[in-house]
Structure formats: C-alpha cells, structure tokens
Chains A and B, each alone.
Chain A
Amino acid sequence: ELKVEQNPLFLSMQEGKNYTIYCNYSTTSDRLYWYRQDPGKSLESLFVLLSNGAVKQEGRLMASLDTKARLSTLHITAAVHDLSATYFCAVDFYSGYALNFGKGTSLLVTP
C-alpha cells in the first residue's frame, strides 16, 4: 500500500523557535514535494526534491530528502507568525504524474 505519513499533524510553536516536520513514505521514491496551504486557499509549491540527499532552503524553511530511509524533513528556523499554515508533503510513487499526499501538518506560530 502506498502511504505518506506526516508528523506531527498539529504543531503550535512560539515565534523564534525551531522545529522539524517529518514525512515518511512506504515505498521507494525519489520525487518528493512540499506544499503550503493557507486556510481557504490552494496549495503553493515550496520545494521539489528529486534525488537522495537533496537539500533545499528558502528563507526560514529547509527541506531534505533521504530516499534510503524514505524520509523527508521540513525544518523551520526561528519561526514567525507568517509561517502559520498547513504543510503537506507529497510523493510520486512510480507513476510520473500522480501525487500521494500526507494528511498535512497544521502549524500555528504564536507570539
């Protein structure tokens, strides 16, 4: 069965703190994507990770991919309120087009 599991599903953190969101998946893949979704809005592409060891950074967010461990992480550095949103990881298992999404991590950054 093709599974994508994120944890935690809910995260409340203080501004200025660091935290990591984890995305585990069930079967080999080297195509993983992170998306952000604000309430009532669509999904915004954040990172595209296409090889083992890939690391990408944008502002306070950094994503990495370990295909051997079937694990991706999204690290948040010195969180700010504007990062409050739901973050999804999505994996392309073999098909080359269909994405399997995790349930999402709902992040709330508080003062």
Chain B
Amino acid sequence: GAGVSQTPSNKVTEKGKYVELRCDPISGHTALYWYRQSLGQGPEFLIYFQGTGAADDSGLPNDRFFAVRPEGSVSTLKIQRTERGDSAVYLCASSPGGTGSTEAFFGQGTRLTVV
C-alpha cells in the first residue's frame, strides 16, 4: 500500500481481555517497529523486526505483550490480560531496512482504551 496501515483505528476493551493490533507496513520495507504513545508524551520503542524475526524486543513492558511477523510483512501486536495502564496509542512504523538512515514511516496508530 501507499503507507503504513493499522487496524483497528480504535479499540475499547475490558480489563483482563486479550487484544490484537494489526500493522501492514509499506510494501518492500523489511524493518518494522512498534511504538507506544501515551497522552502528552513522545512515542516509546517497543519492538523491532528485521524480516520475520524480532531483532530487539527490549521495549516490551512485560510478558503480557508479544508481537509476531510470520511472513515478514504484516505484524500483530498481542496484549494479554489487558490493564488500564495499557491504554495508549500504539504506533507501527516501517523502513526500508539496512544501514544508514533509520527514518521510519508511521501509521495512523491504534488507540487502545482499557476500561
């Protein structure tokens, strides 16, 4: 597609439920990132994929968070046993990969609200 696409754009879930957030990166981009943006803050790094593998998941806050990218394109961020503190905008970004610029192109985000 023309840009990074994220679905759903909004998600409201009850505390304790499981959610999946989807990201479709720019075609041909091998690098994919998930960030989380809380109100009034800058995005915080969660996880980075190069191809199918998670090259760095050090930003995931705890083991309730998991992400996959099985075919090296679409990625899914999964959150188990959601908590109210998980409420934020989850941003996905992609880049061509390789060395040099790490300029990332961001999607519109999924606004997650845990009630």
Contact = CB atoms under 8 A, between A and B. Distances in A.
Size bracket of the B interface: 20 to 34
Interface string A25-67: 0000001010100000111110010100000000000000000
B103 interface: yes
B51 interface: no
A99 B106 contact: no
Nearest to B55: A97
Contact of A41 (B40, B55, B100, B108): B108
Nearest to A47: B103
Contact of A99 (B99, B104, B107): B104
Nearest to A104: B42
Interface of A: 4, 31, 33, 35, 41-45, 48, 50, 88, 90, 92, 95-104
Pairs A-B, 5 closest by C-beta atoms: A101-B42, A98-B45, A43-B106, A42-B106, A42-B108
